[in-house]
Amino acid sequence: MTWTEAHVCLSCLLSLAFLPVVSSTILKAKFDTNGVSGTLTFSQRSAGLITIISGSLTGLSSTATWEIRTLPVRLDVADRCGRLGQRYTALGGTLPVGNIPVANLNDLNTIYGRSVVVTNTQNPTMLSCATLEADDMITMTARFKNTIGGEVVFRQPSAQSTDPISIYVDLYHLKDISTATDTFRKWTIYDKEIQDSDSVESWCQNLGNVFNPTSATGTGCSPQSHQNCKAGDLSGKHSAVTVSTNKGSVVQMFLDTKLSIGAMYSAEGKTLVVETTGSVPVACAKIIKYSTRTAKVMISRNDIKGAMSFSQKSPFDWTEVSVNLTGLASMAGGYHIHNYPVPLKMRKGQEICGQEYVGGHFNPFNVDGTLPAPRAGTKDQYEVGDLSNKYGLLNGLPELIITQADSNLPLFGMNSVIGRSVVIHKQSGSRWICDTIESEASVLQAVATFKYPIIGYIFLRQPQVNGPLSETQVYMELDYGNSATPMATVDHNWHIHVNRINEAFGMNVSQRCSSVGGHYNPYSVDLGGNYGQQCNPNNQLRCELGDLSGKHGKLNVRTQLGGKTRMFFTDTDLPLSGPNSVLGRSIVIHNANSGAPRLACANLYNTPTRITKLENWSKSSYTGTTVFNSNTPGFLDGPTSVSINLMGLDGMASGYHVHKYPVPSTASCSATSVGGHYNPLSMVGTPADKTDDMYEIGDLSGKYNNLLNGKSSVMWTSVDTNLPVRGSHSVVGRSVVVHFNNGTRWKCANIVEDTTTSGGEMFTAKVAFKGEVVGNIILTQYQYPDGGFSDTGILIDLKYASNDTLITHGHKWHVHEKPMTGDCNSAGPHYNPFMVDLTNYTECSPYNQLRCEAGDLSSKTAVYDIGYGKRFYTDVNLNIVEDFGVVGRSIVIHQANNGGPRYVCGDILPETSYSERMNFQLSTVMVDKSSMMTTIAAALNSRPNNMALMQMSDGPGCVEVDVMFTGANAERMRADLHAMVMRNDPTLGVYAPSPSVCGAAKGYVNNIVVPTGVSLVLCIVIFKRSGPLFIKLPSCSNSILCSFPCFDAKLIKKQHSYFVIERLRDIYIFQ
């Protein structure tokens, strides 16, 4: 049945003198619940005149009743009409066609912000409800987290700041729960503006004055008369507010005519204080305006192009949805939002839209997905993610361009769809294409990488809009890295803990995971009372901030079929910035079946947006930039912003591609130097005007419609959905090549991370082979200010010294535990610091690198063919420096054809380091480097990380060894060792200096900077322990860089007419 326009005479049953006369008040109730849809409009020209109710409702039975309830409708709950408070006065009646009873109402504003409930008389349990509001609303909230939890929501029509404000209150105790009762408190708005950087403890300090922008006197202020009230005197206008014992047990609603959240006299940014009758603050919160949330799905797959856009002003407003898709070719069927984001495609043919990866439909309210028929019901009767049943199927459509208002598609709160995925199905029901719903705001991100015994990631992403009001998306994929627990395990508690892991405990899980302290609980939430029940996904503020199992449920690890467990949650209070940020802390996963022991732990590191730049153009006179910008982690699919600015093309350019290898120092763009197009997914051909996924990853000109052709210069920006800058298919460390229009190569440059934006520091290490096999393996990685790391780029290029045309195939290659002491057998076993179990080791692959030994390069990348040329790989599980770094270890190349015997090997040495040369007696030919590093580390009260050795002369007898330090503390470590060498510290043991027998160590110092025009003729080095040692240096005139024998020391001092060189790093030498 459809109920249409009727009139109600509403005169003066209610008389609230404080409400002003407002002309042409119009309130609308938009219904979309339990099968009833449509709009009721309540309009009144002026207070005291009749109110007209008009509109149209569909889905009603032959008779229905309506009434006003006290509270507004919340869109973020399963039962929208179940907790709307008591009936508000006697307003209401029946809704037969043409038979609307008369009710009395003096002023329409008295029901503003309350709800209308319509009941089908033939089925009284089927209620439909909607809030009476203006078309366009402003919403603000004050969210309490300390001592008191909950929120106070302010809503006001945006058109006129003089309209009354509805205030929705739900506050409850967070402390002394076992003795807490419903408490009546004063509540006041003060002038203070809390900053996002302010600690919780400071929120209630220096509050200032009561908010009073109109300088009201406050005389006669009462709930019946707001005219002279101070705007912030909420107690005076509404009496005390109730703080209850649990969320939702006491919810209140007030109307305020002397408070604004609009442009004039707005309370935005002020501080709402709950206080005692003596005005002692109990809890404080900042009043924050909800900013419109926007998200988008960028689609460019399988010949389908377009986007879906989502926009929601606040949790109380409907979501606007815009869909624009082309290329459907009448082949599509349903389309839905699914539970998880889309993974990075690792191999050709991988079905990344499958159940294994993106899960099923997003259905947080457990709605029966089979009813009702498409477009036959209201939005709440369908799964949140069931777009095709809500908006219509795609069957038979060549394209789709629609806009929809959806009351059941939240972008706010724990049921937000942001971060999940959209899947378009074929008419057969099979999954066709998918992409992730990305926030359009800038984001902060963090990741915890688990390596033993659980492997995988827990990834956090928080849009930077509304500061502390921004929800944080939590995505995880978890598995086991050992075979001791090959089957799925369930019900693991998991928490954020206060501290980082103390890596001094190595892989002793009990000790390392105990070092992180207790749960992170910055608001000191009381764990007494009914905490286990009251802390739940619907009441996250009642939980410790770090109690993730309380807020989201317990974890399962590994699926029953043996794959990764994937889960996704939205946390309403998990900040990645500000004083309560979880960055720099850790996540602990406890034993299965709710066990208390700590099973696995990992640090949370910031994941900065990765922005690349081009470096080392092959043509020195050439200028141009290409920037790739992405915040997507290496295990997820996501868009990359591309900005190209190339000049000097002179109409001669055509192709533009990412190539396999970096540009060598010889600056050649040849196939031997930089390889062919980067094409890890083995795409074939260069189609015209197709979607991004149909091209090689590196085919920029193909994807961007041959943007260089015939141009003298290009300035161009776009979004590429097939250009990863993280993960095993990253383009970072490779090169771009500009081709002439005849296809030959013209110019090329390297793709490197722009560390001015990420704050990263690049570390490079090299293994130099100089025997039967010659060449290098070069490792490159970035470390960030908080200690996190990027992936590691690996460039390998080996050939035979005596025959550079010889090729041998299938060489395994690994990082081994120790540096070489003689032959390759001295390198020890494979480097396996995370104790990966070799049972079921076929699970280790380039697509599952955390399941591999960290040192198993051939399984993580590929076996190598010596003599076949360069190869470049990105390893997501190989740190160069710091804890578990590979500097100071060795790489072994095994015999051909997957042979086991060790063939050639070399030490992994840092390219940039602080070095100390040591001179001591040795009874053997070769230094036991592993033993020496352990001894030096113990003497320095450290661990043998970030350290490597190079033996400069053979024993027995006196030998010289360079001790190289790299990493964050390299300079300090080298200085400490130098001091120990100078004083012949006995803790150095057998490696202590032997100057009386061996004399002083000598070495070469590089990169001494000599200013132009200055001639360096002679310097004297003071060797303090054995007296002055005068060394004549060769002349080095008018040059920028020169090398000469000298001592490694710390400062430069002038003595008489000579200089004392005491440090060898970027120093100036003056005559």
With vertex at residue 17, the alpha carbon angle to CA 14 and CA 20, rounded to the nearest 5 degrees, is 105
Task: For residues 228 and 219, give the distance between their C-alpha atoms in angstroms, rounded to a whole number.
Answer: 6
**Cα angle, residue 83 at apex, residues 81 and 87 outer, rounded to 5°:** 85
Rounded Cα distance between 344 and 729, Å, is 9
The domain total for the chain is 8
Task: Kindly list the distances between the CA atom of residue 181 and the CA atoms of 178, 244, 311, in Å, as whole numbers in the listed order.
Answer: 9, 7, 40
Task: Work out the average pLDDT over 277-292.
Answer: 94
Quick check: is 1069 in a domain?
Answer: no
Nearest alpha-carbon partner for 194 in 269, 294, 89: 269
Neighbours of 595 (CB within 10 A): 13
* pLDDT tens, residue by residue, 978-989: 989 888 899 999
Is a pLDDT exceeding 50 seen at residue 865?
yes
Cα 1007 to the center of its chain, rounded Å: 40
Sheet containing 624-630: order of strands: 653-659, 735-740, 745-753, 610-615, 624-630, 640-646, 714-720
- End-of-domain residue from the set 439, 463, 480: 439
Q: Using an 8 Å Cβ cutoff, are 474 and 496 in contact? A: no
Provide the pLDDT confidence category of residue 955 given band limits of 50, 70 and 90. confident
* Distance of alpha carbon 148 from alpha carbon 388, whole angstroms: 42
Q: What DSSP assignment string belongs to 798-860?
A: EEESS-TT--EEEE-EEEESS--BSBGGGG-SB--TT----TTGGG-BTTBGGGS-TT-HHHH
The reply to whether 338 and 459 lie within a common domain is: no
pLDDT value for 16: 29
Assigned domain for 1066 exists: no
The DSSP result for 524-565, as a single string, is -----TTHHHHSSTT-GGGS-TT-HHHHH--EEES-TTSS-E
CB 631 within 8 A of CB 610: yes
Q: Based on the domain organization, do 964 and 1027 belong to the same domain?
A: no
> Is a pLDDT exceeding 50 seen at residue 734?
yes
- Range of weakest confidence among 154-163, 198-207, 528-537, 763-772: 154-163
* 292's tokens: 């419109």
What is the structure's pLDDT at 5?
36
806 with 894, same domain?
yes
Nearest partner of 309 among 374, 414, 402, judged by Cα: 402
Q: What is the pLDDT of residue 290?
A: 94
The string of DSSP codes covering 697-714 is TTBHHHHTTSTTTT-S-E
- State residue 460's pLDDT score: 98
- Per the rule left: phi > 0, alpha: psi between -120 and 50, beta: everything else, 919 is beta
Distance CA 22, CA 44 (A): 9
Per-residue pLDDT tens over the stretch 332-375: 999 999 999 999 999 999 999 999 999 999 999 999 988 899 99
Report residue 53 as tokens. Answer: 């109710």
**What is the rounded end-to-end Cα distance, in angstroms, of the chain?**
101
Is residue 1071 assigned to a domain?
Answer: no
Phi/psi for 1025 (5° steps) reads: -70, -40
Query: Which of the listed residues 133, 156, 184 is the one where a domain comes to its end?
Result: 133
**What does the pLDDT read at residue 304?**
97
Distance CA 927, CA 920 (A): 11
Contacting residues for 226 by C-beta, under 8 A, at least 6 apart? 18, 237, 256, 257, 258
Mean pLDDT value across residues 627-649: 95
Which tens digit of pLDDT belongs to each residue from 526-572?
A: 999 889 999 999 999 999 999 999 999 999 999 888 889 999 999 99
Residue 280 sits in the same domain as residue 333: no
Flag whether pLDDT at 911 surpasses 70.
yes
Same domain, 129 and 6: yes
Higher-confidence residue of 1036 and 55: namely 55
- R_g over Cα of the chain: 35
Q: What is the pLDDT of residue 855?
A: 98
More confident residue, 371 or 974: 974
Specify if 835 maps to a domain.
Answer: yes
CB 869 within 8 A of CB 797: yes
Of 730, 731, 782, which is closest to residue 761 (Cα–Cα)? 782
Beta-bridged to residue 793, according to DSSP, are: 780, 874
Q: What is the mean pLDDT of residues 388-406?
A: 97
* CA-closest candidate to residue 107, choices 21, 219, 29: 21
* Within-domain flag for 1070: no
Domain assignment of residue 401, yes or no:
yes
Same domain, 886 and 847: yes
Question: CA 648 → CA 11, 275, 643, 714, 748, distances in Å?
Answer: 79, 69, 17, 9, 14
pLDDT of 584 strictly over 90: yes
Out of 242, 264, 289, a domain closes at: 289
Q: With left for phi above 0 and alpha for psi between -120 and 50, is residue 330 left, alpha or beta? A: left
Token pair belonging to 441: 């705001």
Q: Is the pLDDT of residue 21 over 70?
A: no
550, containing H or E segment: helix 548-552
> With bands split at pLDDT 50, 70 and 90, how would you rate the model's confidence at 106?
low
Peptide bond into 453 cis (omega under 30): yes
- The DSSP letter of residue 677 is B
Q: What is the pLDDT of residue 486?
A: 67
pLDDT digits (tens, 9 = 90+) for 247-269: 999 999 999 999 999 878 899 99
Q: How far apart are CA 360 and CA 350, in angstroms?
A: 18
Same domain? 881 vs 823: yes
Model confidence pLDDT, tens digit, residues 671-700: 999 999 999 999 998 888 999 999 999 999
Is it the case that residue 1014 has pLDDT exceeding 50?
no
> What is the C-alpha separation between 737 and 111, in angstroms, rounded?
67
Please write the tens of the pLDDT for every residue from 483-516: 656 689 999 999 999 999 998 888 888 899 999 9
Q: What is the CATH number of the domain that holds 951?
A: 3.30.1340
pLDDT for the residue 1054: 35
Place of tokens 């055509």: 654
Residue 1068 falls inside a structural domain: no
Res. 841 pLDDT band, cuts 50 70 90: very high
Q: Give the relative orientation of helices 929-939 and 970-982 as an angle to the nearest 10 degrees.
A: 90
With bands split at pLDDT 50, 70 and 90, how would you rate the model's confidence at 621? low
The set of residues, in sequence order, having a beta carbon less than 8 Å from that of 294 and lying 6+ positions away, is: 309, 310, 311, 411, 439, 440, 441
Q: Quick one: pLDDT at residue 991?
A: 92
Same domain, 500 and 579: yes
Alpha-carbon distance 69 to 29, whole Å? 12
Output the domain CATH number for residue 545.
Answer: 2.60.40.200
- pLDDT above 90 for 717: yes
Residues 6+ apart with CB under 8 A from 282: 147, 148, 185, 273, 274, 275, 276
Mean pLDDT of the chain: 88
pLDDT at 35 over 80: yes
pLDDT of 1037 higher than 70: no
Residue 1007 has pLDDT above 50, yes or no: no
Domain that holds residue 988: 914-998
Percent helix / strand / coil, the chain, rounded to 5: 10, 40, 50
Is 725 inside any structural domain? yes
Three-class DSSP labels, 176-206: CHHHCCCEEEEEEEECCCCCCCCCHHHCCCC
For residues 601 and 712, state if they share a domain.
no
pLDDT at 953 over 80: yes
Do 88 and 101 reside in the same domain of the chain?
A: yes
Residue 793, amino acid:
G
Rounded to an integer, the average pLDDT of 1039-1044 is: 34
More confident residue, 683 or 8: 683
Residue 956: cis peptide before it, omega within 30 degrees of 0: yes
Cα 144 to Cα 167: distance, rounded to the nearest angstrom: 15
- CB-CB contact of 368 with 438 (8 Å): no
Please indicate, yes or no, whether residues 117 and 186 belong to a single structural domain of this protein.
no
Residues 40-60, mean pLDDT to the nearest whole number: 82
For the segment 718-734, the average pLDDT, to the nearest whole number, is 97
Kindly tell me if the per-residue pLDDT of 96 is higher than 60: no
- Same structural domain, 477 and 598: yes
8 A C-beta contact, residue 58 and residue 37: yes
Residue 705: CB atoms within 10 A of its CB come to: 11
Give percent of the chain above pLDDT 90.
72
For the cut 70, the answer to whether the pLDDT of residue 1059 exceeds it is no
| Residue carrying the six token digits 């060489």 | 811
